[in-house]
């Protein structure tokens, strides 16, 4: 276990979702019986998905503007912006840099993207927090967002009904009184095929060709092209239930927290079966497990801040939270955070396009 991050405070978290709702009950690729079974097993009943003109940057800019306004931060005081996404606005340039301009942040603001999915949030806090500490950057924004609905084929029942879209902004500030954050960060590229877009865009391994963009039926109810996201649910499940509990335990032990001392456990929201299983293995109370699967589905990188924002009322007084993300890569990460009161702002809808 590495040394903890100290002196960096989370000042605020805000999350924006698109207005449009996609209901599992309306998904015609599954039969009525399959739809019911799907919702019971995954816990997902509906998701928010973008209209064709709305991008990851739009959701993150909405969240960031909301946050800057509430915190009354002068834009010129923001010295760094890190964006974590796998659905940037363009393959090139980095979405963070586009956002620096659109948000009206100064040109002296450092900005770069990180390519991670479900493990984004703990990784983002680790990278940006230590960057700020080392270089003495007083204020920074961590933006995390994905529009995974754009990646999935509607005709792929193994992917389409799982994913929702959202964008979040987290404000970080140097503050000597901040609690220590312990990180447990992991990767295993041997599982790269578990969640992959095999082709398209700038893929060097398998460049986009007309053939690659033709939709093919893989099996019953699974038709997609090779530039769509594909996932192997059983492999991800098997990975998550074996890798995540030890990661949570390592983080708890580094932080010297007992399971019972944690106010809330916020796991990546992939599927109810995974999260229930991890909860049982680690042994925490169901009342301390926050979930947003029912209304927002799997929102990839942003599932942790989205779940925090959706639970703003419960978190109004702050508290001790364990945050654990796991998935594409494979990549998984856990951290402990002591949230100050009124840090977690609300979740809101936006149709804004910038």
Could you list the residues that contact another protein (CB under 8 A)? Answer: 34, 37-38, 41-42, 158, 232-235, 237-239, 241-242, 271, 273, 277, 280
Q: Between 43 and 88, whose beta carbon lies closer to another protein?
A: 43
Nearer to another protein, 37 or 192 (CB): 37
Helix, strand, coil fractions of the chain, as percent rounded to 5: 35, 30, 35
Nearer to another protein, 150 or 281 (CB): 281
Smallest distance, another protein to C-beta of residue 108, A: 48
* 275 versus 299: smaller Cβ distance to another protein: 275
Strands (E), 97-209: 110-114, 139-147, 165-174, 183-187, 195-197
Beta strands in the chain (DSSP E): 8-18, 21-23, 46-48, 80-84, 110-114, 139-147, 165-174, 183-187, 195-197, 216-219, 222-224, 229-231, 264-267, 319-327, 331-339, 344-350
Report, in Å, the least distance between residue 241 CB and another protein: 5
Q: Which is nearer to another protein, 214 or 220 (CB)?
A: 220
The residue whose two tokens read 């901040």 is: 178
Residue number, 151 or 240, with CB nearest to another protein: 240
Residue 164: CB minimum distance to another protein, A: 19
In the complex, what is the shortest distance from the CB of residue 46 to another protein, in angstroms, rounded to a whole number?
18
Helix 272-282 to helix 233-255 angle, to the nearest 10 degrees? Answer: 40
Q: What is the dihedral of CA 139, 323, 240, 91, to 10 degrees?
A: -20
Cβ(303)–Cβ(311) below 8 Å: no
Helix pair angle (120-135, 303-310), 10° resolution = 90
Q: Which residue lies nearer to another protein by CB, 130 or 238?
A: 238
* Distance of closest approach, residue 34 Cβ to another protein, in angstroms: 8
List Cβ neighbours of 8 (8 Å cut-off, separation of 6 or more). 125, 129, 132, 133, 172, 173, 174, 175, 178, 181
According to DSSP, the residues that pair with 166 across neighbouring strands are: 146
Instruction: Name the token pair of 349.
Output: 């809808």
Question: Residue 172 Cβ, how far from another protein at the closest point, in Å?
Answer: 36
Nearer to another protein, 73 or 277 (CB): 277
CA distance 134 to 111: 16
Phi, psi at residue 290, to the nearest 5°? -85, 140
CB of 162 to another protein, least distance (A): 11
Beta-sheet strand order (sheet of 139-147)? 110-114, 80-84, 139-147, 165-174, 8-18, 344-350
Nearer CB in complex with another protein: 81/231: 231
Quote the CA–CA distance of 17 and 259 in Å, as a whole number: 31
- To another protein, the closest distance from the beta carbon of 275 in angstroms equals 12
Closest distance of CB 94 from another protein, Å: 34
Q: Is the separation of the CB atoms in 170 and 230 below 8 Å?
A: no
Could you tell me the smallest distance in angstroms from the CB atom of residue 122 to another protein?
23
Nearer to another protein, 239 or 264 (CB): 239
């Amino acid at each position: 276990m590495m040394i903890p991050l100290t002196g960096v405070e989370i000042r605020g978290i805000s999350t924006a979702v698109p207005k449009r709702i996609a209901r599992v009950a309306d998904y015609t690729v599954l039969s009525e019986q399959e739809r019911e079974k799907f919702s019971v097993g995954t816990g997902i009943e509906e998701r928010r998905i973008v209209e064709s003109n709305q991008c990851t940057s739009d959701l993150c800019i909405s969240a960031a503007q909301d946050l800057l306004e509430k915190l009354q931060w002068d834009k010129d005081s923001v010295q760094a912006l890190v964006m974590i996404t796998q659905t940037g606005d363009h393959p090139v340039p980095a979405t963070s840099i586009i956002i620096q301009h659109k948000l009206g942040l100064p040109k002296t603001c450092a900005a770069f993207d990180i390519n991670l999915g479900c493990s984004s949030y703990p990784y983002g806090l680790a990278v940006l927090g230590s960057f700020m500490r080392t270089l003495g950057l007083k204020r920074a924004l961590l933006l995390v967002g994905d529009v995974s609905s754009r990646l999935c084929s509607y005709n792929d029942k193994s992917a389409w009904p799982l994913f929702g879209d959202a964008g979040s902004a987290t404000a970080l500030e140097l503050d000597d009184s901040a609690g220590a954050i312990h990180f447990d960060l992991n990767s295993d590229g041997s599982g790269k095929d578990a969640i992959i877009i095999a082709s398209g865009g700038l893929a060097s391994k398998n460049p986009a060709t007309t053939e690659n963009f033709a939709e093919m039926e893989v099996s019953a109810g699974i038709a997609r092209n090779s530039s769509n996201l594909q996932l192997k649910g059983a492999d991800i499940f098997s990975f998550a239930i074996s890798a995540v509990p030890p990661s949570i335990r390592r983080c708890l032990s580094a932080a010297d927290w007992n399971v019972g001392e944690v106010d809330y456990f916020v796991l990546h929201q992939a599927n109810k079966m995974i999260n229930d299983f991890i909860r049982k293995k680690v042994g925490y109370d169901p009342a301390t497990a926050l979930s947003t699967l029912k209304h927002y589905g799997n929102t990839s990188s942003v599932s942790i801040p989205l779940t925090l924002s959706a639970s703003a009322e419960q978190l109004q007084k702050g508290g001790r939270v364990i945050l654990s993300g796991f998935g594409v890569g494979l990549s998984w990460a856990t951290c402990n955070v002591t949230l100050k009161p009124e840090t977690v702002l609300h979740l809101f809808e936006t149709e804004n396009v910038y």
